[in-house]
Amino acid sequence: MVQAERGRGQGPVTLVSKRRSSAAHSQKCPARTGWAREFALIGISMDATTGNNEAIQRTDMASKTTQITLITLQFGILLLQTGSVALQLRSAVPGLLVAVLWLACMALGLWALSANRPGNFNIRPEPKAEGQLVQTGPYRWIRHPMYTAVLLFSIGCAGFTATLLAGGLSLALLAVLWLKAVLEERMMCQRHPAYRAYMTRTRRFLPFLV
C-alpha cells in the first residue's frame, strides 16, 4: 500500500515537472521566433532596397542611352547637311530665302546664349544640378530657342541643296529635336516646380504656334 501510494504520489510530480519544462521551452521559443522574424524582415527589406536601386540604375542607364542616341542622330544629320552645302557652295550662291534662314538661325542662337545663364547650357537634354530656370529673352515665348535655331539652319540647308534627301534629313532632325524637347521638359518639371506654369505660357519651338 505504501509503494502504491508513493507511485500515485509520484505521478503529479512528474506531470508538474513536464509542465515546467514545456513552459520554459515555450518561453525560449518566442525569443527565437522573434529573432527569426526580424532577420527575415531585414532580408526582405534588403532585397526590396536592392531591387529598387537596380530599377533606378536601369532607368538612369536607359535615359542616358536615349540621350546619347538623340545627340548622335542630331549631329549626324547636321554633319550630312553641312557637307552637302559645302560641296554646292563651290558652284552656287545661296538664295535670298536661304540667306534669311541662316541669318535668323545665327541671330536666334546668339540671343538665346546671351539670355541664358552661365552653367545652364547642356548639350544633353538634362538640366544641370546648379542650373536655373530662364524666362527672359527668346525664352519668354519659346522653351527651346536653340533647337529652333538648329531647325532654321537645317531648313536653309534643305532649301539650298533642293533635294529630297535634304528635306528628309530636316524632317528627321525635327523628330529628333522634338523627342529631345519632350525628354528635357519632363526632367525640367522634376527639377523646377515652376516649369509647369512656364509651359502654359510658352510654346515649344515657334511663338503662338508650336
Q: Which residue ranges make up each domain of the chain?
A: 63-201
State mean pLDDT over 183-203: 92
pLDDT in tens, 35-84: 556 545 545 544 444 444 454 445 555 678 888 898 999 999 999 999 98
Q: Say if CB 133 and CB 193 are below 8 A apart.
A: no
User: Are the CB atoms for 82 and 198 separated by under 8 Å?
Assistant: no
Cell output for 70: 538623340
The average confidence (pLDDT) of the chain is 78
Residue 143, C-alpha cell as written in the block? 522653351
Q: Is 87 exposed, middle or buried (CB count within 10 Å of its CB: 0-12, 13-18, 19+)? A: exposed
Handedness of CA 188, 104, 80, 159 (dihedral sign): positive
pLDDT of residue 145: 95
For the chain, the straight-line distance linking the first and the last C-alpha, in angstroms and rounded, comes to: 111
Q: What pLDDT is recorded for position 8?
A: 46
CATH number of 63-201: 1.20.120.1630
